[in-house]
Amino acid sequence: MFTVGGFTLMSRILGFVRDKLIGNYLGAGAAGDVWAAAFFIPNLFRRIFGEGAFNAAFVPMYSRRLEEDGEETADLFARRVITVMTLLLIGIFALCFVFMEPVVKLTNLGFTHEDGRLDAGVAAARVTIVYLIFICLVAALSGILNSRRIFGAPAFAYVALNIVFIVALIVFAPRAEDPLVVLTWSVVAAGIVQLAIVAYACKRAGIRLSPRRPAIDEDVRRLGSLMAPGLVSAGIQQINLIVGGTVASLVVGGRSLIYYADRINQLPLGIIGMAAGVVLLPEITRNLRGGDESGARRSMARGLEMSMLLTLPAMVAMIVIPREIMFAIFQGGEFAGKDALAAGAVLQAFAIGTPAYVIARVLQPGYFAREDTRTPMNFTIATAVTNILLCWPLFIWLGPAGCALATSIAGWVNVVLLWIGLGRLGFLEMSPGFSGRMARMLLSAVLMGAAVWGLARLGSTWILADGQFFLRMIALTILVAIGVVAYFAFVFALRVFSVSEVKNVLRRKGTGT
Which amino acid appears at position 296 of this protein? A
H/E segment holding residue 367: helix 365-368
Question: What whole-number distance in Å separates Cα of residue 222 and Cα of residue 486?
Answer: 51
Query: Is 366 a domain residue?
Result: yes
The answer to whether the CB of 28 falls within 8 A of the CB of 339 is: yes
Question: CA 387, CA 306: separation in Å to the nearest integer?
Answer: 28
Is residue 513 in some structural domain? Answer: no
User: Whole-angstrom Cα distance, residue 401 to residue 385?
Assistant: 19
Angle (nearest 5°) at CA 42 between 124 and 318: 100
Q: How far apart are CA 58 and CA 145, in angstroms?
A: 12
Please give the C-alpha separations between residue 211 and each of 54, 104, 397, 505, in angstroms, as whole numbers.
18, 33, 53, 40
**pLDDT score, position 513:** 34
| Alpha carbons 274 and 4: distance in angstroms, whole number | 8
Contact (Cβ atoms closer than 8 angstroms) between residue 143 and residue 55:
yes
- Supply the DSSP symbol for 49: I
* Cα–Cα distance for residue pair 345/403, rounded to 1 Å: 11
Domain assignment of residue 381, yes or no: yes
Q: What pLDDT is recorded for position 393?
A: 95
Q: Which residues of the chain have pLDDT under 50?
A: 1, 508-513
Tell me how far apart the alpha carbons of residues 505 and 28 are, in angstroms, rounded to a whole number: 40
Beta pairing partners, 335: 332
Tally of structural domains, the chain: 1
Residue 337's identity, in one-letter code, is: G
Query: Residue 196 class from Cβ within 10 Å (0-12 exposed, 13-18 middle, 19+ buried)?
Result: middle
Per-residue confidence (pLDDT) for residue 484, from 0 to 100: 93
CA distance linking residue 191 with residue 152, whole number of Å: 18
Query: Residue 69 and residue 92: Cα distance in Å, rounded?
Result: 33
Q: Tell me the CA distances in angstroms from 379 to 281, 367, 383, one per residue in order.
A: 19, 12, 6
By C-alpha distance, which of 431, 424, 420 is closest to 501?
Answer: 431
Q: Is residue 188 part of a domain?
A: yes
> Which residue type, as a one-letter code, is found at position 458?
L
Check residue 282 and give its pLDDT: 62
| Residue 396, domain member (yes or no) | yes
pLDDT value of residue 363: 83
Contact 64, 212 (CB under 8 A): no
What contacts 91, CB < 8 A, 6 or more positions away? none
Domain enclosing residue 15, as ranges: 2-507
Q: How many CB atoms lie within 10 A of CB 210?
A: 7
φ, ψ of residue 332 to 5 degrees: the values are 135, 150
* 261 lies in some domain: yes
Compute how many other C-beta atoms are within 10 angstroms of the C-beta atom of residue 166: 17
List the one residue out of 56, 410, 398, 39 whose CA is nearest residue 240: 410
Residue 478 counted as domain residue = yes
pTM for the full model?
0.78
| Residue-by-residue DSSP string for 387-412 | HHHHHHHHHHHHTHHHHHHHHHHHHH
pLDDT digits (tens, 9 = 90+) for 433-455: 778 888 999 999 999 999 999 99
Residue 512 covered by a domain: no
